[in-house]
Structure 1
Amino acid sequence: MLRKLLILGVFAGTSASIPMLYQSNPQMLDGLLKSAAGFKPDVEAPTDVNLATVPSKPATSQPLGRKVVVVADARGHFTSTFKLNGRQVDGMIDTGATLVALNTSTARRIGISLNASDFRHQVNTANGTIKAALVTIDRLQIGKISVESVQAVVLDDRALRTNLIGMNFLQRLEKYQVENGALLLVQ
């Protein structure tokens, strides 16, 4: 009797884990089922990026040719490391930002020098209206994706703690889409 209960328990546990296994990696389970049935494809199937299997923890951007996948962090934000004018900068991709927005410290670090008189434009932010300087970034890169001559606004460090990569960068890509907690960028 104990033996039957043990076998039943193993069977029930295995049966309960199949849906989770399929959800986490459907290609692996399909491959196992096809190999068990003796299925042999005539042509090797292409391997696609499955955004449903991205890790649950934030990861660095993964270059995929001229594609980059950015995984959302614990707060749901798409943060990554970028290169601005060849210098490495941390930033957050923000579809709510019209332009790329940098703080003054980052602007100095990437070779943009500004005077107080350059801060003559008013921009509306989530924290209200603030003075900003309008600049051009020679090259903005993430992975192998590179866009040249990108307009940006520079705000005081107290007004902007995180550099924002706005829509004027995203709109110059071939495609960007969010799926299952990851942002796919394609150039």
Structure 2
Amino acid sequence: MYRFLIVLVLCAALAPIVPLWVEHQNNQTSETAAATSNASSETGERRHRISANRSGQFVADVHLNGHMHEMLVDTGASATVLPVSVARIVGIFPANDDFKLRVSTANGTTYGARAVIDRLQIGRINLRNIEALVLQDSSLSIPLLGMTALNKLDRFDISNGTLVLIQ
């Protein structure tokens, strides 16, 4: 009985301290992030961090020719790929005759059209003239940010569930 009472008193004594400790930890994390951000701005680097979603995928909000779209960052995709519906929104209008490039996807073989994305912005990172492919919507549900864009970066790193793009 006394042990229970001692544990109860100890918990009651620590209860006001726990929120202060959590706030202190958050402040230290913010200061570390700010120091990292300052270090990258001092070196002229632009960085953008993307946390993995529950499926372990990296999905980012990307501006394509000024229009924001969610894109799946896919280091296994050799090209940046847009569904035709997204391509049209961002000002890319392939003709039916343009879909002649044979493409192997996870869903099988299809035909794509070559395109160029004039401007791609993700966070503070700005890329220009990104070679892309346009596929029919039935072949691709979400745009892919592939290696034709990622190769224009200085580098990218993946660790601890975070993808860091560096320009």
Partner of 1:6 in structure 2? 6
Amino acid at match of 2:97: S
Deviation at 1:66, TM superposition (A): 1.5
Q: Cα deviation per residue 1:5-31 (whole Å; 9 max; x = unaligned)? A: 6259949xx8xxxxxx9xxx5995xxx
Provide closer, same or farther for how the CA distance between residues 156 and 6 of structure 1 changes in structure 2, counting only shifts above 3 A. same
Partner of 1:177 in structure 2? 157
Deviation at 1:130, TM superposition (A): 0.7
Amino acid at match of 2:132: A
Provide closer, same or farther for how the CA distance between residues 125 and 5 of structure 1 changes in structure 2, counting only shifts above 3 A. same
Which of 79, 98, 102 aligns to 2:78? It is 98
Structure number with greater CO (CA < 8 Å, separation at least 6) is: 2
Which of 89, 105, 111 aligns to 1:131? It is 111
Q: Cα deviation per residue 1:131-167 (whole Å; 9 max; x = unaligned)? A: 0000010011101101100000000001000100001
The secondary structure found in structure 2 opposite 1:158 is helix
Q: Going by fraction, where is helix more abundant, 1 or 2?
A: 2
- CA distance, structure 2, for counterparts of residue 67 and residue 88 of structure 1: 19
- CA distance, structure 1, for counterparts of residue 48 and residue 103 of structure 2: 30
Q: Cα deviation per residue 1:102-147 (whole Å; 9 max; x = unaligned)? A: 0000000001111110101011111111100000100111011011
Deviation at 1:48, TM superposition (A): 3.9
4+ runs deviating over 3 angstroms: 7-11, 25-28, 47-50
- 5+ residue gaps, structure 1, are 15-20, 29-46, 51-64
Which of 122, 126, 134 aligns to 2:102? It is 122
- TM-score under structure 1 length normalisation: 0.69
Partner of 2:37 in structure 1? none
| Paired residue total | 147
- CA distance, structure 2, for counterparts of residue 114 and residue 85 of structure 1: 16
Which of 138, 147, 162 aligns to 1:167? It is 147
User: Within the alignment, does 1:85 sit opposite 2:65 as a pair?
Assistant: yes
Amino acid at match of 1:112: I
- TM-score under structure 2 length normalisation: 0.77
Paired-residue identity, %: 37
Provide closer, same or farther for how the CA distance between residues 173 and 159 of structure 1 changes in structure 2, counting only shifts above 3 A. same
- 5+ residue gaps, structure 2, are 15-20, 35-44
User: How large is the Cα RMSD of the aligned pairs?
Assistant: 2.8
- CA distance, structure 1, for counterparts of residue 68 and residue 50 of structure 2: 16
Deviation at 1:168, TM superposition (A): 1.5
Q: Cα deviation per residue 1:26-51 (whole Å; 9 max; x = unaligned)? A: 995xxxxxxxxxxxxxxxxxx5449x
